Structure 1
Amino acid sequence: MIDSSPESTPNNTLGSVEKAFTVLEQLRQTGKAGVSELTTQLEFPKSTVHVYLQTLQDQGFIVQDDGKYTLSYRFLEYGGDHRNRSRLYEVARPEVDKLGSETGEVANLGIEENGLRVLLYKSEGPDAIHDNAPIGEYAHMHWTALGKAMLAHYPTSRVESIVDTHGLPRANEHTITDVDELFTELEDIRERGYSVEDQDRRQGVLTIGAPIVDRRSDEVISAVSVSGPKNHLDEHDRFEELVAAVEKAANVIELRYAHY
């Protein structure tokens, strides 16, 4: 049962805040829902679901239209403000745009947060096949070239901690789900300098990624990649061209970040 009082949970967190985010997450997944629908989905009393919805609406985080509730664009404002304060984003954005334009593919910039890959920015070239991944998307690190490029340069203990927390869930039959196999691939990535997402997450999609290192600390802080149809990117000459383009973009971003 939802209670609007600020009760604490065994983890010393506020249960009411957790439940408010449960309501928000359900709206994110559903897209649009009414009080009765949310009551059924969440198995919360209707009266208290209404209290949470009214509170979130009053604070501007959800909007109501014809009796249905949806998330508001206030989240975009928060995320946009936070991203715009990022020095990495500021120095990397022009190079990601250039990478997308010159390759004609979808160029991506990602970071790791709480053990997941966050898509910080992307730029689609003029001939790119549309990529439905939204800015701000969280995904398992082992699913993506961006994530694997970063994991390959993390200490073993950090990789193990991420796997312990999030596991190695399967996206499809191409996804790595074995820890030993993952570490073997990460070693290969370190040796060749770039990562490959060969349908690990989405059928028919190939992505090439490279890590971005803070040269002052030698720590990996991000990764950059290009994505496109496997049957197009996997051609030998094309593949090698894209590897060179991604590695060049990573190098330029590293230099700009070090001297910005």
Structure 2
Amino acid sequence: MASNSPADERKTLGSVEKAFNILDQIKSEGQIGLSDLAGQLDIPKSTVHIYLQTLQSEGFIVQIDEEYTLSYRFLEYGGSFRNRSKLFRTARAEVDKLEADTGEVASLGIEENGLRVLIYKSEGPDAIHDNAPVGEYTHMHWTALGKAILAHYPRDRVDSIIDRHGLPRANKYTITERDELFEELERTRDRGYSIEDQDRRQGVLTIGAPIHSRSNDEVVGSVSVSGPKSRIEETERFEELVAAVKKSANVIELGFSHY
């Protein structure tokens, strides 16, 4: 895990930070003009214009009429990096199979810098579509993918993630107390799977399972299925999905260990 000491935080370039602040704001808005961008970031228009010209010349943003949007160059970078991931290459076919077998959204996630990253998702025509994009970062405690991973981290590592990112609320169902989260993680370890019961999105229930490296037993990611709570919580259906997710995790573990 990356260090977060004050000394490390001081070793940054303000110009690079400013460039990424501009990119983050464009991402948040989708498409935005120079004046609005400068006003929202409280940066002089002349300065923002220089950054926009530079980012545009390097191919990372596109100008549409008088507004700017991100370019697909980011997809090239992310796709290239993901395709080199041993976990992604090992798990992709099994995640597709999990979706085909269950008819629900099947997802693959990892932890990076204390956040859950959605690195692959497979969804069929009857699956619930939550519009979570591949590459999305979100709080670990909001998701079954995140909780499946946290449950197998040492307590001090979980504490450091909480210290860094907190336990913000997504809705009234979100766990926001440290002790309550550790109790949930203990239950997750004992039963062998995690549950996201509307923690992030109302009406959605997700079942997740950790993926371990069999060479050192460290957790390297997690896999899950998501669907409407009303459909998944039926006892027989729920047990079928738990078994399917745990089986997929085992298949991925075997492939990962022998890749």
Tell whether the structures are fold-level matches, with TM greater than 0.5. Answer: yes
Deviation at 1:125, TM superposition (A): 2.6
Alignment of 1:192-211 (within 5 A): 192-211=191-210
Match of 1:14 in 2: 13
Hey, what's the Cα distance between the residues in 1 that align with 2:119 and 2:91? 10
Hey, what's the Cα distance between the residues in 2 that align with 1:54 and 1:142? 39
Paired-residue identity, %: 71
Match of 1:5 in 2: none
Alignment of 1:61-72 (within 5 A): 61-72=60-71
1:108-158 deviations in Å (ceiling 9; x for gaps): 000000000000000013321222100000010000000000000000000
Deviation at 1:254, TM superposition (A): 0.1
Match of 2:49 in 1: 50
1:126 partner SS: coil
Deviation at 1:75, TM superposition (A): 0.3
1:239 partner SS: helix
Contact kept in structure 2, 1:102 and 1:125, CA below 8 Å:
no
1:84–1:181 distance in 2 versus 1, CA, 3 Å: same
Alignment of 1:12-161 (within 5 A): 12-161=11-160
Contact kept in structure 2, 1:39 and 1:46, CA below 8 Å:
yes
2:108 partner SS: strand
1:214 aligns with 2:213: yes
Hey, what's the Cα distance between the residues in 1 that align with 2:220 and 2:257? 12
Hey, what's the Cα distance between the residues in 2 that align with 1:138 and 1:235? 30
| TM-score under structure 2 length normalisation | 0.96
1:253 partner SS: helix
Hey, what's the Cα distance between the residues in 2 that align with 1:77 and 1:111? 20
**CA-based RMSD:** 1.0
Instruction: Count how many residue pairs are aligned between Structure 1 and Structure 2.
Output: 252
Contact kept in structure 2, 1:101 and 1:126, CA below 8 Å:
no
Match of 1:3 in 2: none
| TM-score under structure 1 length normalisation | 0.96
Match of 2:232 in 1: 233
2:10 partner SS: coil
What is the letter of the counterpart of residue 210 of structure 1? A
What is the letter of the counterpart of residue 24 of structure 2? E
Contact kept in structure 2, 1:116 and 1:138, CA below 8 Å:
yes
Hey, what's the Cα distance between the residues in 1 that align with 2:189 and 2:33? 50
Contact kept in structure 2, 1:208 and 1:243, CA below 8 Å:
yes
Match of 1:174 in 2: 173
Hey, what's the Cα distance between the residues in 1 that align with 2:43 and 2:145? 38
Contact kept in structure 2, 1:103 and 1:125, CA below 8 Å:
no
Hey, what's the Cα distance between the residues in 2 that align with 1:120 and 1:56? 26
1:147-176 deviations in Å (ceiling 9; x for gaps): 000000000000000000000000000000
Hey, what's the Cα distance between the residues in 2 that align with 1:229 and 1:155? 32
Q: Which runs of 5+ in 2 are unaligned?
A: 1-7
Deviation at 1:39, TM superposition (A): 1.1
1:216 partner SS: coil
Deviation at 1:12, TM superposition (A): 1.8
Hey, what's the Cα distance between the residues in 1 that align with 2:171 and 2:205? 14
1:210-236 deviations in Å (ceiling 9; x for gaps): 000000011000000000000000000
Hey, what's the Cα distance between the residues in 1 that align with 2:145 and 2:208? 5
1:3-53 deviations in Å (ceiling 9; x for gaps): xxxxxx971211100000000000000111111111111110010000000
Hey, what's the Cα distance between the residues in 2 that align with 1:11 and 1:195? 38
Hey, what's the Cα distance between the residues in 2 that align with 1:31 and 1:212? 34
What is the letter of the counterpart of residue 100 of structure 1? E
